[in-house]
Structure 1
Amino acid sequence: MRYIIIGAGAIGGTVGGRLAEAGHDVVLVARGAHHDALRASGLRVSTPDGTRTHRLPVVQHPVDLGELRAGDVLFLAVKTQHCEAAVDAWGGRPVAGGGTAAEVLPLVCAQNGVESERIALRRFRRVYGVCVWLPATHVEPGAVSAAGAPYTGMLHIGRYPTGTDETARLIAADLEQSKIIAPVVPDVMRWKYGKLLSNLANSIEAVTGLITDDAAVELFRRARTEGETVLAAAGIEAVGEQEQKEARGDRIRFEPFDRSERGGGSSWQSLSRGTGTIEADYLNGEIALLGRLHGVPTPVNDALQSVANDFARERRAPGSMPVADLVALVASAGQRGIGPSRRRGNGPGVCATGH
């Protein structure tokens, strides 16, 4: 199988680099300065076992690749806010032997949140979900780093909405050969909802820095409690923290290879690169959406979603808001009654505002 890595950033670049290192056929899809750096100097992947540069085919647009092959796997690793554009761009591409990508090729969704699979299934007939646990960083064009050892990460994979098949098992086998643990599960969305609850911390980390302050820890606890309450109201099952820990066990350790502490997660990295967008609408915003649908107030997640979007739109530096200021902002939003229980049917509310 040939892997088309659509979005060769922290996750896509790391997975693509590991697959290439194991001898698999890989094509990278990237944009802007990252694309130019990959074309000029290759993909530099730094891990605890060394730094390797992979000279791989790189394209910006589907047309640059030409006709797709019948054995291609589209590995979608763009942020969820870019998912629809990617699905539109790749879905209609012709495949050798007949049909289009959307009709015949598997599309693997490796993003935080739970919306990308649903977006993809509108166009693609064969959609696979991936629950990503892979601490990785991409802030410099042409380079990614991942500090997991001896395995780089863990990717649970399964058919969307449920089930498994031979394609999932073949992809998992290739990932396992590439130092990535890849359990094949029939309930991949249960895993992704569990990860979603963890990713509610992303906005806090993005705007205030690594969550070490007691006040930041408490704010995350409140956001997660809202999330758990909303999922229960919606009848959605999520993998618990203990089951996640048991799945990883001691098979993956965090080993900073450059003597540095862990960097920020995916949302922090978006702010660091000044992309102008952030995934908060599909993390905290997913909880807010479900809260409005099921009549559950979500003032903490409402405020976190809004402040993260403000940071991205204004291209503010990651970690530049004191924790006390964020806590005060959330409290102020709650006092103004910005939540579905008090604004249902009244239109938009608050205008404040992972790995």
Structure 2
Amino acid sequence: MLNRPLFRIDSGEAQGEARDAQSSCFAADLKAALLSHPRTISPKYFYDERGSRLFDRICELPEYYPTRTELAILAAHAGEIASHMGPRAEVVEFGAGSLRKVRLLLEAMQEPARYLPIDISGEHLARCAAELQQEYPGLDVQPVVADYTRRLLLPAPLPGAGRRVGFFPGSTIGNFTPEEARHFLATAAQVLRGGALLLGADMVKDPDILHAAYNDSQGVTAAFNLNLLARANRELGTGFDLGLFWHSAFYNAPKSRIEMHLVSRKNQRIEWDGECFEIGEGETLHTENSYKFTIEGLRALAGQAGFRPGPVWMDAGRRFCVHWLHAPA
């Protein structure tokens, strides 16, 4: 992976620079995907302003259990988690989204020193961070718009602050390949050195439950998937006809992962940026993986990155788990 520094959201100019950098990366990655076989692109490009709003809707769907299950786990164990964090802790949230889950931790924490939410969707993050700052006027909230899968350059810890604790909820770890997950965890271990990582992960379960979660009856997940092409049209001028693609999501049991694809309904040609890309009927653009984990498997993965496993909290149905992982000293 190429390294790119983080951008603080503290001026319109900084936001503009971040958007330009993201658009440049999006264009390069989309072109590479259209030229490759099989075609695949990172799910991070789902999350423009509209994509972030659609994901918020997905989290409220009756079929989509992960969000409400993880929220229930955090609510039930917030006090215990806060005791592990200790006083004056700094929280670094990777892929912060709407900053909903961190509120459960902030309410239970003893004098949190600072909150550093990181997300690729700058406008969405800025709005949510401003709302959080109003709710917690005594908390130092420093939003960072960035691709957290790349090199992390965070501010130095505040004087007198406690340990630095990473927060990575929502089973976003499952969107990485195993190699990417190890890379991210190894990077996080360095950033959080001497602290810890609070990591949420979806668990292996009945495939029927998984299928329903990614193929909701209202079609919101399909719209979320197709928004990647709509974003390309808006930002890059690609000219995709969204009516010529199907949303497809299925559980690949041998690889313990949900796969999301956009399937071409017919032979089509995409003319963009001086090039012509041909996509055959039935060919797909692979837009997301969502790996499912066992407790032992995730602990082993974290151990390879230098973390030492700690407590694990889960729901009674063993659908979702939250891990406390000690970062190396």
| TM-score, normalised with respect to structure 1 | 0.27
Greater share of strand:
2
TM-score by length of 2: 0.28
